[in-house]
Amino acid sequence: MTTKAGTTVAADPSDPSPPAVRLLRRRGVEFTLTVVAVLLSMYGYCAVGLAKNGTVPPGAADYGAGLGVLALLAHLVVRVRAPYADPLLLPIAVLLNGLGLVLIHRLDLETPGDQAAPAQLNWSTLGVALFITVVALLRDHRVLQRYAYVSVVAALALLVLPILFPPVNGARIWVRIAGFSLQPGEFAKVLLAVFFAGYLAANRNALAYAGRQIWRFKRLQLPTGRVLGPIVTIWLLSVGVLVLERDLGTSLLFFGLFVIMLYVATGRTGWIAVGLLLACVGAVAVGWLEPHVHSRVEDWLHPFASIEAGEGPGQLAQSLFAFAAGGLLGTGLGLGHSVLIGFAAKSDFILATAGEELGLAGLSAIFLLYALLVERGYRTGLALRDPFGRLLAIGLASIVALQVFVIAGGVTGLIPLTGMAMPFLAQGGSSVVTNWIIVALLMRLSDSARRQYDRHDGPQDRAAAFGRGA
């Protein structure tokens, strides 16, 4: 990923001028990769049209132009306001969002009465607009630390809000206002990550070193009641969300996020033990007591039970059929039958379409794109110096990682299925907007990380911090 010009100049010891600051920005790389991402998405769009109707779809140019303009605007703002930001984040986001639009459009062709792609494009536009806003207006991420407690209050409010609304398909996670369906829980993730980062950055020493030891091992040191309080609160919150909203995925995500951030902040394995214990107790209890969650576990253990009962394949079975039909190379875009999954084929089960039509090869590529996104987040966390920034970067990247694991593991039968959106890929306005905000925050964080090295450190440190040495 190093630009040719960059390595040449930086590696040339005879160059008398100080290391060129501009050359680290790598905005050219970002631009090129973004163009590639837009072209790949356009190619996918055309492939769907060719497979389904034998012609290049008439809207291909418009689609490409729309996605291209959005990507270009985002790129220009990054160029001006976050010139040091990581060059991979934006292209990955554009590619995943573009691919998601292609897959949703592809499924729209099978369901003429239910067109989801236009709305998804609008939401993507809004997401990019928010991305631009965040990158343009948020000059320093440390500002956010001041709003940690405001964030947690807002997050709680957003989480409680859907309880006032009627459940949709068994889960109370939706808010319907003026024809729009919103999932406030999606936004709450970011706010909670901000809160955790702020709270842990402020209290990590107290959490790490106070408390009494069980046995003589420091590893099993338990914290004092005062610091334990907020953690138990969060655990209760997760279980509360689970029970009241029947949303196993979100509660799993919150709790996993919290445990990871706590561990990173304190380095106490004891926390992990306590966290896992609490998670197990909560999961087992709810799994037994809550019928909605219980049936999900049953489906996971016996995906073909409904077939044996003569009721035809359930969603998970259909999803597994779709993945299996894809094989190594897939059927090709537009040539699969993942629409058999029926309900939620465009949202929770979007990955099955990718798996069937792009095969294991395409699916692995998508997983690796997510992995790269997460990896860039973690690298940013490593490069940053302030604890809040580090924790925020780790938190945001972990949200993506956990979310991908929970839903991808769910639709492939690795873990019990929980309703959750595949970041950028799945139909869902709240989700796509939230993910653009996450990427925007990561852009801002990585910009800060690189900027600081650029101002204060020599090239060796830089090299150590970015890629080669790290």
- Footprint of other proteins (CB under 8 A): 260, 263-265, 267, 304, 307, 312-313, 317, 320-321, 323-328, 331-332, 337, 340, 355, 359-360, 363-364, 367, 370-371, 374-375, 378, 381-382, 387, 390, 394, 397-398, 401-402, 404-405, 408-409, 412-414
Question: Least distance in Å: CB of 169 to other proteins?
Answer: 23
Please count the other Cβ atoms lying within 10 Å of the Cβ belonging to residue 413. Answer: 17
Question: Least distance in Å: CB of 121 to other proteins?
Answer: 27
Task: Say if residues 105 and 45 touch (Cβ distance below 8 Å).
Answer: yes
Q: Name the residue nearer to other proteins (CB basis): 136 or 371.
A: 371
Q: Name the residue nearer to other proteins (CB basis): 38 or 392.
A: 392
Please count the other Cβ atoms lying within 10 Å of the Cβ belonging to residue 226. Answer: 11
Query: How is residue 173 written in tokens?
Result: 């996670």
Question: Least distance in Å: CB of 89 to other proteins?
Answer: 16
**Cα-Cα-Cα-Cα dihedral of 236, 242, 245, 247, to 10°?**
140
For residue 224, give Cα distances in angstroms to 8, 201, 287, 414: 55, 18, 30, 37
Q: Name the residue nearer to other proteins (CB basis): 235 or 321.
A: 321
Please count the other Cβ atoms lying within 10 Å of the Cβ belonging to residue 301. Answer: 10
- What does 252-319 look like in DSSP terms, one character per residue? HHHHHHHHHHHHHHH--HHHHHHHHHHHHHHHHHHHHH-HHHHHHHHHHH-TTHHHHTTS---HHHHH
172-177 long-range Cβ contacts below 8 angstroms, 24+ apart? 172/244, 172/245, 172/246, 172/247, 173/245, 173/247, 173/250, 173/419
Question: Least distance in Å: CB of 386 to other proteins?
Answer: 11
Q: What is the DSSP letter of 427?
A: S
Question: Least distance in Å: CB of 68 to other proteins?
Answer: 30
Question: Least distance in Å: CB of 355 to other proteins?
Answer: 7
Q: Name the residue nearer to other proteins (CB basis): 95 or 317.
A: 317
Question: Least distance in Å: CB of 370 to other proteins?
Answer: 8
Q: Name the residue nearer to other proteins (CB basis): 402 or 440.
A: 402
Query: How is residue 106 written in tokens?
Result: 């592809």
Question: Least distance in Å: CB of 209 to other proteins?
Answer: 14
Question: Least distance in Å: CB of 205 to other proteins?
Answer: 12
Query: How is residue 274 written in tokens?
Result: 């306590």
Question: Least distance in Å: CB of 106 to other proteins?
Answer: 16
For residue 19, give Cα distances in angstroms to 9, 136, 459, 466: 8, 27, 7, 15
Q: Name the residue nearer to other proteins (CB basis): 125 or 145.
A: 145
Gyration radius of the chain's alpha carbons? 23
Please count the other Cβ atoms lying within 10 Å of the Cβ belonging to residue 459. Answer: 14
Q: Name the residue nearer to other proteins (CB basis): 170 or 332.
A: 332
Q: How many Å apart are CA 254 and CA 274, to the nearest integer? A: 15
Query: How is residue 123 written in tokens?
Result: 């939401």
**Cα-Cα-Cα-Cα dihedral of 108, 109, 113, 116, to 10°?**
20
Q: Name the residue nearer to other proteins (CB basis): 134 or 339.
A: 339
Q: Name the residue nearer to other proteins (CB basis): 82 or 340.
A: 340
**Residue 121: HSE in the Cβ half-sphere, 13 Å Cα cutoff:** 18
Q: Name the residue nearer to other proteins (CB basis): 23 or 305.
A: 305
